[in-house]
Amino acid sequence: MADLIVGIQWGDEGKGKIVDLLASGYDYVVRYQGGHNAGHTIVVDSKKIALHLLPSGILYPQCKNVIGNGVVINLEALLKEMSAFENLQGRLFVSDKAHIILPYHEILDKAKEKSKNTSAIGTTGKGIGPCYGDKVSRNGVRLMDLKHPQILKTKIESIYQQAKYAASLYGVELPSVENVVSHLESLREQILPFITDTTQLLWEAQKRGEKILCEGAQGSMLDIDHGTYPYVTSSSTIAAGACSGSGLAPRDIQKVIGIAKAYCTRVGNGVFPTEELGETGERLRESGGEFGTTTGRARRCGWFDAVAVRYACALNGCESLSIMKLDVLDGFRRIKVCVGYEYESREIDYIPTDYECVKPIYREFEGWDKTCGIRDFNALPKNAQIYIKELEKLIGVKISMISTSAEREDTIRL
């Protein structure tokens, strides 16, 4: 059986800390979607460790780590990340079905965003979308192709017919087929020892009764189908994506643990009903260190949206919820929570498809002085306890963990 950690907002919820906290109790940690556009920051003994493609279980020597078929991989980025760790052979396994982000994907990604001007999605420009686009149009290159150089070259030559046409529309130059093939061949020997059929690997692990933890990237509100389309990522970020991105069956997923901040953030463009553009938003950003792990971009910040979190928990079938960064709200005199929306001259408690047409309805809570570093629920200020209990009622899902700082051990278990 496998358990699953999934983001419940627009990403950056603190999934890395929870996966790191739980990983010691699992045999395998599996990353099942996204690319190096996502990042998990883990703090151990005050030292920050940023992961982009490697699963968070990489910090535990006894844990095996899998990059599943649903991930798109920039080989240079992966090898650079791997270089920070020793003895990865036998601990890291990369799916032979995972697709490779090629140099021209990044060029086309940036050119497309630039051409949209004010309607740009706000992507990281790392080629994630174009790579997934090639995948679904059956024009992709997979890691297994690195084992067959002639097939690899033939595939890239075929793909280039369409890629060059797209490049001409955007007025950009692409590297030659020869340069792309040469680039991949220069990395081939470094990555080949880690490439395997990870679906079979996980099935065999299940037969042995070993424990598997799946971790996603981004958040549920960025899901390609159920998120705030078109301002979403290019993959399935919800629990269902864990199956398609790893080869595990739906019946194999046992616990689904949702992760949400005690407030809310978003990177890139798109609807964000509870966003605070003034002093409050800036205070949340500075106190929470809300700058992207991958890009360094400042995140948009706002109040907790209970309607959106309830929606995402339902999408994922969450058994429990972990609330992160409670300490960022320390010192606020009043704290707001969105409990409904104004929509078409009426009040609603759900997310309509035309989400950009809603206005938040808030409930206010009394603030508190300090929660930072507290590890016992009963030791929290009374108003912080009330806040957590009321969030639990509004969402309808049990809150099982509360993080009170970035440190691994500053976590309350309920």
Amino acid at 343: Y
Residue 296 assigned as binding residue: yes
Residue 403 assigned as binding residue: yes
Catalytic pick from 3, 12, 20, 252? Answer: 12
Q: Three-class SS of residue 2?
A: strand
Residue 233 assigned as binding residue: yes
Is residue 359 annotated as a catalytic residue, yes or no? no
Residue 14 assigned as binding residue: yes
Residue 218 assigned as binding residue: yes
Distance between CA 404 and CA 399 in Å, rounded? 14
Residue 326 assigned as binding residue: yes
Residue 246 assigned as binding residue: no
Residue 274 assigned as binding residue: no
Q: What are 120's two structure tokens?
A: 């740009």
Residue 125 assigned as binding residue: no
* DSSP element (H, E) containing 128: helix 128-136
Residue 331 assigned as binding residue: no
The percent of the chain in helix, strand and coil, each rounded to the nearest 5, is 40, 25, 40
Residue 353 assigned as binding residue: no
Residue 199 assigned as binding residue: no
Is residue 109 annotated as a catalytic residue, yes or no? no
Distance between CA 126 and CA 104 in Å, rounded? 10
Closest CA to 355 of 261, 272, 262: 272
Residue 393 assigned as binding residue: no
Residue 119 assigned as binding residue: no
Residue 266 assigned as binding residue: no
Sequence-distant (6+) residues with CB within 8 A of 192 are: 146, 147
Distance between CA 327 and CA 384 in Å, rounded? 10
Query: What are the DSSP calls for 161-210, one per residue?
Result: HHHHHHHHHHT-----HHHHHHHHHHHHHHHGGGEE-HHHHHHHHHHTT-
Sequence-distant (6+) residues with CB within 8 A of 251 are: none
Closest CA to 170 of 118, 121, 104, 235: 104
Catalytic pick from 36, 40, 105, 112? Answer: 40
Catalytic pick from 135, 226, 261, 336? Answer: 135
Is residue 261 annotated as a catalytic residue, yes or no? no
Residues 29, 206 contacting (CB under 8 angstroms)? no
Residue 40 assigned as binding residue: yes
Distance between CA 194 and CA 40 in Å, rounded? 22
Q: Three-class SS of residue 155?
A: helix
Q: In this structure, is the dihedral angle defined by the CA atoms of residues 211, 22, 100 and 186, taken in order, positive or negative?
A: negative
Tell me the binding residues for substrate. Answer: 293-299
Residues marked as catalytic: 12, 40, 135
Annotated binding-site members for IMP: 12-15, 37-40, 124, 138, 218, 233, 297
Residue numbers in the known binding site for Mg(2+) are: 12, 39
- Residue ranges for the known binding site for GTP are 11-17, 39-41, 299, 325-327, 403-405
Annotated binding site: 11-17, 37-41, 124, 138, 218, 233, 293-299, 325-327, 403-405
